[in-house]
Amino acid sequence: MYCNPKEGDEMNEDFPVPEAADIVVLGGSVAGLTTATVAKRYYPDKGVVLIRRDSPVPIPCGIPYLFGTIGAVERNLVPDAVLDFEGIELVEGEVTAIDREARKVILSDGPAIAYERLVLATGSTATIPPIPGADRKNVFTIRKNPEALAEFLAALKAAEDVVIIGGGFIGVEFAEEIRRYSEKNVTIVEVLPHCLALSFDEPFCIAAEKELTAAGVKLLTGQKVAEITGGEEVAGVRLSGGEELKADLVLVAAGVRPNVELAIQAGLRADPVAGIWVDRTMRTEDGNIFACGDCAAKISFFKGKPSHTRLASVATMEARTVVANLYGVRRENPGVIGVVSTVVGKLTLAAAGLTEELARREGYAVLVGEASSPNRHPKVIPGVKETKVKLVFEKHSGRILGGQAMGGESVGELVNVIAACILNRMTHDQIASFQMGTHPLLTAAPTNYYLTVAAESAAQKAFATR
């Protein structure tokens, strides 16, 4: 679905505004695009209109790799041909109001579009913590807008000293990318004890940090930013301990907030931090209006508590759930598991569900199983990479709560298997009983397959305590 435009492709700049549509989707990024395309496939006879503010739309997950790997903003865009192919009408403009009684959305330049079903996929906006000096020139957040991204890249190419505030995925991926393609001085400032600490247990974080350090990234963890210094333009970053870092560009990668203003104006239940309230079918309190993606409120898969995890994979799941329920309830949102992966240097890391630390904090009695083995067999096979897997189970039921893996590229798909195990509430005994496909050039040996060995390790611990 998300392919790059081919050379010679032309953008259609004439987007007529229809008077009405069966299904109207607000937002053209991951959640909105998925909703519109899937809805048209399920309901080919329905008129589907997608309204977006920015044209064209960047592919979100590719943004950290614009500096060198992708090379240009225009090579990381969703082509309008996707919508044309599916028979979806595209309207470019900003919706300023929703008339729920008349079932219409009002555009800023006057026209109104009537709807039968309305889907809010208005996304999120990067947040800036209340740091003095954050309004100085060359202090950036990541905005999913081609012009804003081009401005950021131009400033980044001209910069020599880059400070990144936030050691989550965006911060880590940008830092590694910048160092991979330049000799710029790059520093990450992270308030938590480790980078990526919200997604991984400490040994995995340390492994990622070793790769960052080897790439030449300076890490300052357990540190808080007190001020961004300078005149009109940024000159440095002062930490709470008094240390000042030289900086001619600062990237703030400290999370996002849901875009809920339109929903609130329409009288829908929404919170500026949590998002637009939806039930398990992704329906708002208005039976004709749904919400999905970053703008929608989330609940955890594990205990049903509010979740602030906002990922493209969650957005697409929610979008498909919306479509399944547009004209009758057929599917429910199981809640956010949280499945992530990244590459840092030569190391691939991935995680799904709860870390051991988070599971204990949530009050679970946990059982851990671990395994490590080469991802090829025998280990003399070229390209072999040691892979480590850690699985976290609920002690009494044996059900899996989470898993982490690091090693070669295959880890990026292995974590999806772990996520499927979590979704289906599998136990360590069930996972240990997997029948897996193996091949010397592709996988670990069947006798030492890390997923089943890690599950068996936990099962043995459970057996020993009976």
**Whole-angstrom Cα distance, residue 446 to residue 452?**
9
Phi-psi region of 425 (alpha: psi -120 to 50; beta: other; left: phi over 0): left
Q: How confident is the model at residue 61 (pLDDT cuts 50, 70, 90)?
A: very high
Q: Has domain 20-125+257-324 been given CATH number 3.50.50.60?
A: yes
Predicted local distance difference test score (pLDDT) of residue 15: 54
Predicted local distance difference test score (pLDDT) of residue 14: 52
Helices 30-42 and 312-324 pack at an angle, to 10 degrees, of: 30
% of the chain surpassing 90 pLDDT: 93
Cβ pair 97, 3 in contact under 8 A = no
Residue 446 pLDDT > 90: yes
For domain 346-464, the CATH superfamily is FAD/NAD-linked reductase, C-terminal dimerisation domain (3.30.390.30)
**Every domain of the chain and the residues it spans:** 20-125+257-324, 128-254, 346-464
Confirm whether 20-125+257-324 and 346-464 share one CATH topology: no
Cβ pair 46, 97 in contact under 8 A = no
CATH T-level topology, domain 128-254: FAD/NAD(P)-binding domain (3.50.50)
pTM of the entire structure?
0.93
Residue 184 pLDDT > 80: yes
Give residue-wise pLDDT tens across range 342-399. Answer: 999 999 999 999 999 999 999 999 999 999 999 999 999 999 999 999 999 999 999 9
**Whole-angstrom Cα distance, residue 227 to residue 235?**
11
Residue 136 pLDDT > 60: yes
% of the chain surpassing 70 pLDDT: 97
Predicted local distance difference test score (pLDDT) of residue 79: 87
**Whole-angstrom Cα distance, residue 287 to residue 307?**
23
Q: Which residues of 326-363 are buried (b: 16+ CB within 10 A; e: fewer)?
A: beeeeeebebbbbbbbbbbbebbbbbbbbbbebbeeee
Q: How confident is the model at residue 16 (pLDDT cuts 50, 70, 90)?
A: low
**Whole-angstrom Cα distance, residue 399 to residue 455?**
10
Residue 13 pLDDT > 70: no
Specify which residues 188 forms β-bridges with: 164, 219
